[in-house]
Amino acid sequence: MSTLEIKDLHVSVETKEGEKPILRGVNLTVNSGEIHAVMGPNGSGKSTLASALAGHPKYIVTSGSVTLDGQDVLTMTVDERARAGLFLAMQYPVEVPGVSVANFLRTAKTAVAGAAPPLRTWGKEVNQAMANLRIDPGFAARSVNEGFSGGEKKRHEILQLELLKPKFAILDETDSGLDVDALRIVSEGVNRALHGTDVGIILITHYTRILRYIHPDYVHVFVDGRIAEAGGPELADQLEEHGYDRFKPGSGSATAPIPDIARGPVAGAGAEAGGEASVGAAAAGAVGAGRAVPELADAQVGVASSEGAGDLTSDKASFDDDAPGEGETPNFPLELAADATPAKVQTKEGFEGTFE
């Protein structure tokens, strides 16, 4: 059995005004085969937690520790975290032009496992996994996520989860943007991975709908950069009925420091467990192993080639009701227009939109 343990984790993010604290003492312990749902309102720091665990350089760990089977995760590079067994399914999967899905998957598997998978069995495994997730076989020849719909991108994330077989998977709002059918298919993939490999899962979500398909052992309410309450699956039902109002400042519930949270409803020593680099696809060095590829610090694979050729960012903004809140950064370049109201935004490429 493996254990991922986060103790008193404090994380800041660099802004124009200086470092801004986001995580304020997160505690969570996850064992193999356990599903921990992390729920909370926008801006509570959930995706910052994911990014910090993945090793995104934008997020600065100021104190605390993260260990995987006793090994210090915080001293590891992104690719080392992937090889140690961490996987991140990102909230906003990034397109990687020029790298085919088939090449990416095999290179990632080689990097994580330390040896190339046998071609005779690997092809069958990939085809079966794609069929299970209702992914057209033709996607294997396409560039990673290029031209994929939102649901197709999320299914590709879970395809990686099934094939790479990590020890722990952080699923950052995998349910966002999915219709009912896609949600069911993605959830079935997560459950197959759980039952097939005994992976430990941190499931970050705003809503309870995905919990109808993926049944958590524990539910944690994330507010203001820390866990405000922990319990069993019944806690998710309470949130569905009453929302997060009682945890807001002034409600008297989440304003005071809380003790360490154990894995379940009973208090004890626990810890809380990354965003824009999908360590899930963890081919760090993997993709860069056979060819020059742009540095993927924000890429789906959570991995980067040793010699980056430039930034890889999305050229489209996604405007929906699941847009990231404070401390949760989208993977597209976002900046206020010169004449912007607080709701008007435009990308660096000039695409404008308004959050309604």
Among residues 300, 298, 308, 355, which one has the least CA distance to residue 331?
A: 298
pLDDT in tens, the chain (356 residues): 999 999 999 999 988 888 999 999 999 999 999 999 999 998 899 999 999 999 999 999 999 999 999 999 999 999 999 999 999 999 889 999 999 999 999 999 999 999 999 988 999 999 999 999 999 999 999 999 999 998 999 999 999 999 999 999 999 999 988 999 999 999 999 999 999 888 999 999 988 999 999 999 999 999 999 999 999 999 999 998 888 888 876 665 544 343 343 444 333 333 333 333 343 434 343 333 333 333 333 333 333 333 333 333 333 333 333 444 444 444 433 333 444 444 434 444 444 444 44
61: exposed, middle or buried (Cβ count in 10 Å: 0-12, 13-18, 19+): middle
Yes or no: say if 328 and 47 are a contact pair by the CB < 8 Å rule.
yes
State the residue for tokens 């999305």. 314
Going along the chain from its start, the domains and CATH numbers come out as 3-311 (3.40.50.300)
State the residue for tokens 């719909």. 149
What is the signed CA dihedral for 167, 288, 155, 315, rounded to 10 degrees? 130
**pLDDT at site 250:** 62
**pLDDT at site 249:** 67
Max Cα–Cα distance, the chain, nearest Å: 61
pTM of the predicted structure, to 2 decimals: 0.71
At 345 the three-state DSSP class reads: strand
Tell how strand 143-144 and strand 96-100 pair up: antiparallel
Q: What is the separation of C-alpha 185 from the centre of its chain, rounded to a whole number of angstroms?
A: 18
Rounded CA separation 311/313 (Å): 6
Rounded CA separation 87/94 (Å): 16
